[in-house]
Amino acid sequence: MRSEHGRDGRFVFGVAVLTVSNLFVKFCGLFLKVPLTNTLGDTGMAYFNLAYAVYKWFYMISTAGLPVAAAILTARYAGEGEPHLRAAQLRRVRNVTFCAFLVLGTLGAVCMYFGAPVFASLQHVPQAAPSIAALAPALFCICIASALRGWYQGLGCQTPTALAQAAEALGKLLCGLYFAGYALRAGAPIHTAAAYGVAGLSVGCFAGMVVMLLSHPIVTRRYGICSGSRIALQKTPLIGALWRIALPVTLSASVMSLTDMLDSMIVIRRLCATGVAHAEALRLYGSYTALAVPMFNLPPILIYPMTTALIPVISSVGEQRERCHAIVRASLSLTVMIAMPCAAGMSIMAEPILRLFYRADLARTGAPMLSVLALAVLFLSLLAMSNAILQALDAARAPLCSILIGAAVKLGASWLLTGQPEVGMLGIPLSTVLCYAAMAVCNLYFVLRVTRAQLPLGVMLCKPGLAAVFCALTARAAYGMLLQYLPAQLCTLVSIAAGGAVYLAALIALGGIGADVLSLLPHGKRKPPISITQ
């Protein structure tokens, strides 16, 4: 058995590896989308993101649940039974998951490629069809990579996933920019150039898949799971266990991604119904998805690695109630500490932040939408962490109720708000805030009910919240004072740094960093992973 401190060490190490990888991925994504946005403009990025909304739905259906199920079962089998039986069970999980992903990836890619004209027509933008078709190969590659990702995650081995994410991001960056530039130089129309840029994403996904496949023999040797003596195992219980865990997660994720896709179909139609010209509606949608959404997605990358590493850790200590409660409290507290200042600072500094990357005219258009959308960062982060906790504790069905409630709120609010001329495009970020708030509240209720842990929600929210207010006000005041002495971009960076320093000082002064959070830190030297055959 691995020691308790060994598990915590793997958690922190896994978080660190995936955090670095996710930061690299997000910055590569920014370096791809920023020049594309500045070159193609709002309209060109609208085609790009309309295609991505369709791809995301197929992606979630195909890859949301099975990696989580594989990670949970792998973590269980890795810590129980005789060594040769453990190795056989782990190989069985890998093989069954891989076959399932192969089928899902093939079917999804075919449906997406041949159904591209239908999806584009439903979005009220037929010119988006080439971009949707160009993303179909990416779905197949992602499915193959995801089959191994869940398996590696269950073993506590996050390095292959981090390397694959980096290779994928680098491939998307280089190929996406090159393909789009080639199309523009050849005189192609904007929607065709967007399709070329989207094709770079497929190439990047192929690179990530190759890295995951090449890592497989290394991981199997390291953990002693190489093919050896064959043991007769019952297939049906394993397949049933995989689908019992995977199906609720898949349904939850696919409902939200379906909602996002329906959102892309609603917004342009509703804006046009209020008298906005089709071209202007397309431009506004492109501004929202190309400027506000990427910035909104940056802060949670500090949370997602924690959720990925948390699932096998909680799964392995699930029977130790007090230790499980401590990890749950620490994880949620740390989530709030990270998300609070990000939400407050991004909301009040929206336009200066956008000006760091985009043209001034584009930043002015996207800033109001980002100011509203940033408020959802806290709720999205809590949702991600609570989902991971529930999945690890075999309560993956619980978030489905939260997702359905959130989806209903999202679609209803989007339809009503975007149809109001005085609200217009701001209805989309407003509906997103309401959606994630509803889901986060529901999920926290389920966490309390399942774990029966005592969560000091008042202290957990109030102290970081007060510190976040100081952070945001400091950043804004510093920006206003420095603007007359320094360039705008430098002012923004200095102001963000000042706000972060004030936040940390205020959080410490208020006693916001509790013992549960400190308990996640490893004690002593991190132990190397123990082979399955030991």
Tokens of 125: 């933008």
Residues 262, 123: Cα–Cα separation, whole Å = 8
* Spatial separation of the C-alpha atoms in residues 8 and 235, rounded to whole Å: 32
Judge whether 289 and 96 are in contact, CB under 8 Å: no
pLDDT in tens, 472-485: 999 999 999 998 88
Mean pLDDT calculated for residue range 83-89:
68
Model confidence pLDDT, tens digit, residues 239-265? 666 667 777 767 766 776 777 788 888
Least confident piece of the model among 5-14, 103-112, 418-427: 5-14
CB 339 within 8 A of CB 382: yes
pLDDT tens-digit readout, 128-165: 999 999 999 999 998 888 888 877 877 777 788 888 88
For tokens 């991971």, name the residue: 388
Buried b (16+ CB within 10 A) or exposed e, 135-155: bbbbbbbbbbbbbbbbbbbbb
- Name the residue among 132, 166, 138 with its Cα closest to residue 46: 132
Q: Where are the domains of the chain?
A: 1-260, 317-520
- The pLDDT tens digits of the residues spanning 364-403 come to 888 999 999 999 999 999 988 888 888 777 776 777 788 8
DSSP letter (8 states) at residue 374:
G
Structure tokens at 462: 């109030």
Mean of the per-residue pLDDT values of the chain: 80
Structure confidence at residue 500 as a pLDDT band (50, 70, 90) = very high
- For the segment 295-314, what is each residue's pLDDT rounded down to a tens digit? 888 888 777 777 766 666 66
**What pLDDT is stored for residue 92 in this prediction?**
78
